[in-house]
Amino acid sequence: MGKLIAILMGTALAGGLCLQASAADRTSPTGNGQHFVAPPIKLKDALIANGNGGTLNPGFNTIDSHTLNCKKGPCTVAVTEMVQLQTPDGLWAICPNVDGTYTNPGCPYQGSVAAGGSSYVTGNGQGSITVATGSHTVRTDVYVNQASSLANWQSTYTMYKN
């Protein structure tokens, strides 16, 4: 009789767990996605810049800088970048920056080049940040942990009205 009660309780517990799992959010593997409809945002300004060549010193290097104007805030600035460089080895990152603040999700490393590699690598970055009414300096910074050569790059800056 005791075994039967234990089996029934185990079955009921497992059934409850299955019901909980099936009722969980399935829009994300982490289970924390929520369904919502984002309000529309309108493109207000855009700028594309590109170039080729230069020297990158250890630390943060600004390779491009411009001004965008948010006429009536709040606005969202979105930055998309592609950078190619030649580095002997080490870590490097592409860092979108607005008014001296690195955008979300920050400035993730692109990876590392194996020691003695001295090869070309290409990375892509993107970020966004909300700003108030007024002029805003948007720039592309590249971080390297040792001297490197900048090759091709392109940055696209867009400003949207929230």
Would you state the torsion angle of the CA atoms of residues 127, 132, 136, 139, taken in this order, to the nearest 10 degrees?
-10
Give me the residue label for tokens 């460089």: 85
- Does 16 lie in the same domain as 61? no
Domain span holding position 93 = 42-161
pTM above 0.85, yes or no: no
Chain-centre distance of CA 53, in angstroms? 25
Q: Which residues have C-beta within 8 Å of that of residue 44, sequence separation ≥ 6?
A: 70, 71, 75, 159, 160, 161
CATH number at residue 78: 2.60.120.1340
- Does 85 lie in the same domain as 23? no
- Does 82 lie in the same domain as 49? yes
Q: How many domains does the chain have?
A: 2
The pLDDT tens digits for 44-92 are 888 889 999 899 999 999 999 999 999 998 999 999 999 999 877 788 9
- Does 71 lie in the same domain as 29? no
The pLDDT tens digits for 84-109 are 998 777 889 999 999 999 999 888 88
